[in-house]
A = this chain, B = another copy of it.
Amino acid sequence: MAEDLGVTISRDEDFSEWYNQIVVKAGLADYSPIKGCMVIKPYGYAIWESIKDFLDKRIKDTGHENAYFPLFIPEEFFEMEKEHVEGFTPEVAWVTHGGDTPLERKLAIRPTSETIMYSMYAKWIRSWRDLPLLINQWANVVRWETKMTKLFIRTREFLWQEGHTAHATKEEAEEEVKKMLDVYREVMEDLLAIPTIPGYKTENEKFAGAVYTMTVESLMADKKAMQAGTSHLLGQHFSKAFDIMFEDKDKEKKYVWQTSWGMTTRTVGTLVMVHSDNKGLILPPRAAPIKIVIVPIIFKDGKEEVIGRCNEVQELLGRKYKAKLDDREGYTAGFKFNEWELKGIPIRIEIGPRDVKENKVVIVRRDNSEKIFVPMNNLLQEVDKILEDIQNSLFSNAKKFLEKNTFLPKDYNELSDILNNQKGMAKISWCERGCCEEKIKDETGATSCCIPLDQNGLEKKCIVCGQEAKKVILFAKHY
Contact = CB atoms under 8 A, between A and B. Distances in A.
Nearest to A133: B42
Interface in A68-120: 68-74, 77, 89-100, 106-107, 109, 116, 119-120
A386 interface: no
B70 A42 contact: no
A381 interface: no
Contact of A96 (B65, B66, B94): B94
Contacts of A77: 33
Given A41-B67, A95-B95, 9 more contacts: A32-B70, A34-B116, A39-B120, A42-B66, A49-B66, A71-B142, A93-B97, A96-B96, A97-B106
A337 interface: no
Contacts of A124: 30
A140 interface: yes
A378 interface: no
A333 interface: no
Contacts of A116: 32-34
A128 B46 CA distance: 24
Residue in A34, A68, A99, A159 with the greatest tally of chain B CB atoms within 10 Å: A68
6 contacts: A40-B67, A40-B68, A42-B66, A49-B66, A94-B96, A98-B144
A345 interface: no
Interface in A175-234: none
Copies in the complex: 2
A39 B89 contact: no
Looking at chain A, what size class is its interface with the partner chain? 35 or more
A146 interface: yes
Contacts of A98: 91-94, 144, 156
B40 A65 contact: no
A37 interface: yes
A408 interface: no
A45 interface: yes
Contact of A74 (B33, B41, B67, B159): B33
A310 interface: no
A93 B90 contact: no
Nearest to A98: B144
**Those 7 A-B pairs whose CB atoms lie nearest each other, nearest first:** A98-B144, A42-B65, A37-B70, A40-B68, A94-B97, A96-B96, A90-B99
Given A65-B42, A95-B95, A34 B142 contact: no
Residue in A70, A93, A100, A120 with the greatest tally of chain B CB atoms within 10 Å: A70
Contacts of A42: 65-67, 135
Interface string A132-172: 00010001101010100000000011010000000000000
Nearest to A136: B42
A139 B142 CA distance: 14
Contacts of A159: 68
B37 A65 contact: no
A225 B46 CA distance: 37
A94 B95 contact: yes
